[in-house]
Structure 1
Amino acid sequence: MTQRQWFKLHGWISLPIWIVFCFVCITGTIAVVSHELTWLTNDNARAHNPNDLPAKPMAELVASLKAYDNTAQPSTIISFESYLTTGIVFSSDKVPFGVAYINQYTGEVQEINQGSTFINFMRSLHSWLLFPWQNSYSVGYYLVSAMSFVMLGALITGLVIYKRFWKALISPKIRTQQNKKTLLADLHKHTGVWSMWFLLVMSITGLWYFTQQILWHADYEITPHARLVAQSDLPMSQSAQANISLADAISIASATFENFKPTYILLPEHNRDTYKVKGSGDSIFFDNTSYQVLVNPWNGDIEQLTQPSNMGALQTIQHVMDPLHFGYIGGLWTKFIWFAFGVLLSGMSITGFMIWGSRIRQNVKEKGKPPSIVNPIEGV
C-alpha cells in the first residue's frame, strides 16, 4: 500500500465510530480510579481508622450487620482496598436489596446503599454501555470489546504512516508557535508514540474480552461449574443448621493457601450450596479472586479448589486480563499510571477527530474539491 492509502485507512478506521471509541476511553479512564473517586466523594465509604486498629474478621462484620438489622440475610461479602469499607450485600424485611458499608476496623455500619454503587455503574457503563444482557450476551459488550480492533488498527497504521516515530521519544517537539493544525498534529503523534505500550495492552485485553463474550454467548464454560454438596452429606432433618460457620469456612480457606487474603465471599443459598471463599494469594499477576475454596457447610470438606497452578489456559487468561486492563496489577501507583495514559488516549482520539474534521472543512471551503491526502501527522 502507498503512504496515501495507509493514511486513508488510519483515518477511516477511527472516524466512523469516533464517538463510541472516545466514550469508551473516557469511561474506562474514570473506571480505573472509581474506587478512589468513591473515597473522595462519599465519606461513608471511607474506612476511617484513627486508632490504627487491625481489621476485624469478616464474620464479625456480618454480626455487626445483623445487630444493625436483625432480619438481614447476607449473601455476599466484598473486601476492597484498605481505605474503603467492606461491602456486604443483603436483603431484609426493610431492605429488599442493599449493600451495607461496614468499617472493617470499628465494625460500624456507615451506610446502606439500596441503589447502584458508583464503582458498579462506571464498570457497567464502560464494559457494556448499560445495554441489557440476554441469553449470556450483551450487544454493548460486543460493541465495546470490538473497539480493540479499532485501537490495534489505528496503532499499526499510525506507525506505518509516521516515519521515524522514535524521534518523538528521543527528542519530543511540540510546535506551539505555529498554526492550530500543526499543534494538533504534534500533540496527536507524540501522544500516540508515548502511548504505544498502553495502546497495545488495551488492544490485547480488549481482544480477550471480545473472545470471552463469544465463548459466553456459545455457553462455553471458561470456569468450571461450582460443585454442589453431595446428597449423602445432607442431614436427615430439613430444619438442621449447618455445622460450619462463616468464620470456620474462612479459616479453612486461609489455611489452604499461603498468603491468602479473602476478598469475595458468597454464602450458601440453599442446603446443597457451599461457602465460596475467593481471594488473592502470592501471584501478583492474577486478580483478587484467582484463589477459590468451596467449603462444605455441613462437614467442612473442601469441595473444590482453584488456584493459578491448576487453571486451564483460558481460565488463566481470564484472571490475568482484568489487572492489566484496569491497572491495579501494582496497586495505587499503577492505577494512577493507567489513569494518566487513559487521559492521553482520550485526548488522542479527540485530536485525531479534530485533525480529520479540519481537513473536511478545508475541502468544503475549496468548493467541494476532493480531499488532498496530506499527512497531518507530519504537521504540514
Structure 2
Amino acid sequence: MSKISNRFWFQLHGWFSLPIWLIFCFVCLTGTISVISHELTWLTNPAARASNPQDLPEKPTAELISVVQQAYPTANVSIALSFEPYLVNAIVFNDSDKPVAVAYVNQYTGEIQEINLGITFINFMRSLHGWLLFPWQHNYSVGYYLVCAMAIVMLGALVTGLLVYKNFWRTFTQPKLRLSQGKKTLLSDLHKLAGVWSIWFLMLMSLTGLWYLVQAIMWHADIDIEPHPPTVTVEQLPKFAEQTATMPISATDAFEIAEQRFPNFKSTYAMLPEHNRDTYKLYGDGDFIFFDQYSLGVMVNPWTGEIEDERNPEKMAALETLTNVVNPLHYGTIGGIWTKIIWFIFGVLLTGMSITGFLMWGTRTVKAARKPTVELDHNQQTFIQQETH
C-alpha cells in the first residue's frame, strides 16, 4: 500500500509540472529577471543612472516636472515616478511629435539625461512576467490568468514533492550531492537540495500568486478592491473653468499639501489632472516596511486645494491591505537591494528546479520507451523507492 501511495504522489508531482513545463519555467525565469530589472537597467544604461558626484540634495518632484515642461513647452506631463536613489526619475509626457515619451531626469542635478520613446526594460520585463504580453480587454487578460494559475502548479508541486521525498528535513543538516554516480543521480540530488532549501520561497510565491489570481477574478467581476479616486464635483468648479488656462493649485502646491498631511511622505508615483474634474493623485511610501511604495496617497482638488481622499495603511480594509503588501513580498523589495539579491538567488534555484525536473522526466521517459511494459513497471517502482529514501 505504501508503494502504491508513493507511486501515486510521484506521478502526481510530475504531472503538476510537466504538461506546462515550458510556461512554468518561462514565468520563473522572467520573474527572476524582473526582481533585479532596476539594477540591470542601471548596469546597462548609463543614462538611467542618477549620478551625484557633488553630493547634492534631491530635488522635489514638482521641480523635475517643471524641468520637462520648460524643455518641451507644448508637452503635457501626465505621470512622475521615482525609484531607487541610484536611478533617475521618470517623467511621462506627450507632445505634438511624441505620443508617449519618458524623460529620464536626474533628481540631483535636474538634467534630462535621455528621452525614451519606447517601452522601458523594466516595464517590458514586468509585463512579460505578469501577463506574457497578452492584451487586456474588459478588465482581464488571458495571459494574466495563465501566469496566476502557475501558483496552483507550484503549490501542487511543493506538496507532492514533500510527500514523495520522505524525511526531507534531513537535507538541512545532511545535504547530499553525489557527483560521481551518474547524470540521473546528480540531477536528482540537485533537484532535492534546491527544493528543500526553497520551501519557504515556494510557499511565498504560491500564496502571493494565488492572491494575484483572486485579484484577477475580482477585477474581471468588477468587484472593487480599492476605492476609486473621487472626481471634482460640478459645483466645485469655478465659473467658466472650461476657459481657464491653468488651475489655481499647481503641482508644487499639491506636493506641499501631501507633505503637510503625511510629514514622512516621499513621492514615488504622481498623476497630474487629465481634465477639469480630475485631481492630483500623489502616492508615496512611509515607514511601513511590508507595504509597497504606494501605500500613502492623497487626492488633491486642483481648484480648492482640499484633500478629496487619501490612502493610509492604518485605515485600509483587508483586501486593500493585501493588495499593498503582496507586491513587496512577491518581488522582494521589502529590504531593498539585499532582499532583492536573496529573491534573485532563490528565483534562479526555482528556475533550475523546473529544468532539472524536466531533464529527469525526459531521461526516464526515453529509457522507459525502450523497455517492455513488465520491466518498466518494475523499474518505475525501484526508482520511486530510491527517490523517496
- TM-score band, normalised by shorter chain: over 0.9
The one-letter code matched in structure 2 to 1:354 is: L
- Preserved contact between residue 260 and residue 282 of structure 1 (Cα < 8 Å): no
- Preserved contact between residue 188 and residue 377 of structure 1 (Cα < 8 Å): no
- Preserved contact between residue 89 and residue 105 of structure 2 (Cα < 8 Å): yes
Confirm or deny that 1:135 pairs with 2:138: yes
2:192 equivalent in structure 1: 189
1:360 equivalent in structure 2: 365
The one-letter code matched in structure 2 to 1:249 is: A
Match of residue 74, structure 1, among 64, 72, 77: 77
2:111 equivalent in structure 1: 108
Match of residue 43, structure 1, among 42, 46, 70: 46
Confirm or deny that 1:239 pairs with 2:248: no
Structure 1 residue runs of 5 or longer lacking an equivalent are none
2:387 equivalent in structure 1: 378
Output the CA distance in 1 between the equivalents of 2:152 and 2:353.
17
Confirm or deny that 1:83 pairs with 2:86: yes
Output the CA distance in 1 between the equivalents of 2:288 and 2:208.
19
CA deviations over 1:36-76 (Å, ceiling 9, x no partner): 00000001111111101011111111111122211111000
How does 1:221-232 map onto structure 2 within 5 Å? 221-232=224-235
CA deviations over 1:347-368 (Å, ceiling 9, x no partner): 0010011111111011112156
Match of residue 329, structure 2, among 320, 324, 333: 324
Confirm or deny that 1:203 pairs with 2:206: yes
Structure 2 residue runs of 5 or longer lacking an equivalent are none
Match of residue 307, structure 2, among 276, 283, 302: 302
CA deviations over 1:176-228 (Å, ceiling 9, x no partner): 11111100000000100000000000000000000000000001111111101
Q: Determine helix, strand or coil for the equivalent of 2:133.
A: coil
Q: Determine helix, strand or coil for the equivalent of 1:294.
A: strand
- Measured after TM superposition, the shift of residue 344 of structure 1 is 0.3
**Cα root mean square deviation, aligned:** 1.4
- Preserved contact between residue 258 and residue 282 of structure 1 (Cα < 8 Å): no
1:280 equivalent in structure 2: 285
Match of residue 252, structure 1, among 257, 260, 270: 257
CA deviations over 1:62-98 (Å, ceiling 9, x no partner): 1111222111110000001111110011011221210
- Preserved contact between residue 186 and residue 379 of structure 1 (Cα < 8 Å): no
2:276 equivalent in structure 1: 271
TM-score, length-scaled by structure 2? 0.95
- Measured after TM superposition, the shift of residue 377 of structure 1 is 6.7
Output the CA distance in 1 between the equivalents of 2:344 and 2:89.
24
Q: Determine helix, strand or coil for the equivalent of 2:258.
A: helix
Return closer, same or farther for 1:379/1:180 CA change in 2, 3 Å cut-off: farther
Q: How many residues align?
A: 380
Return closer, same or farther for 1:279/1:377 CA change in 2, 3 Å cut-off: farther
- Measured after TM superposition, the shift of residue 370 of structure 1 is 4.1
